[in-house]
Amino acid sequence: MPVYRTKKTFAVVHFEETGKGRIVFLPQGAEVRVIGPSSIGKCFEVMFENKLYNIFKVDLLGPWATLAAPIPVKDFKLKPMRVSAAVAVSA
C-alpha cells in the first residue's frame, strides 16, 4: 500500500458509522496510505490518522502529492512444480 504526502490542503470525504458522509480537509504535509478503490467513482480510499477518507485519484496522483514511502516489493521464491506433458508425435 503506497503512502503519499500532500503538498497542499485537500478536501476529502469521510463516512461516519451511520453512513453519513462529510467533507473534511486534510492538512498540507499529511501522509495518507492508499487502502484501495473507493465506493465513490474516480476516488481512492485512504487512511490518515487511523480514519478512512475518500480522495479523488486526480488529486492524489497529480503534482500536488508525492510518493512518501516506496511500494514494498515482495521477495518471490521459486517453488518447484511438477510438470507432466504428453508429447504426441505425428508421422
Domain boundaries, the chain: 3-69
HSE (CB half, 13 Å, CA atoms) of 19? 1
Read off the pLDDT band of 87 (50, 70, 90): very low
User: Are 44 and 38 spatial neighbours (Cβ–Cβ below 8 Å)?
Assistant: yes
Read off the pLDDT band of 36 (50, 70, 90): very high
**Phi and psi torsions of 12, nearest 5°:** -135, 165
Q: In what order do the strands lie in the sheet with 31-37?
A: 21-26, 10-15, 51-56, 43-48, 31-37, 3-6, 65-69
pTM beyond 0.75: no
Show contacts of 85-91: CB within 8 Å, 24+ apart. Answer: none
Q: Does domain 3-69 have CATH number 2.40.50.140?
A: no
What are the grid coordinates assigned to 81, written together?
512444480
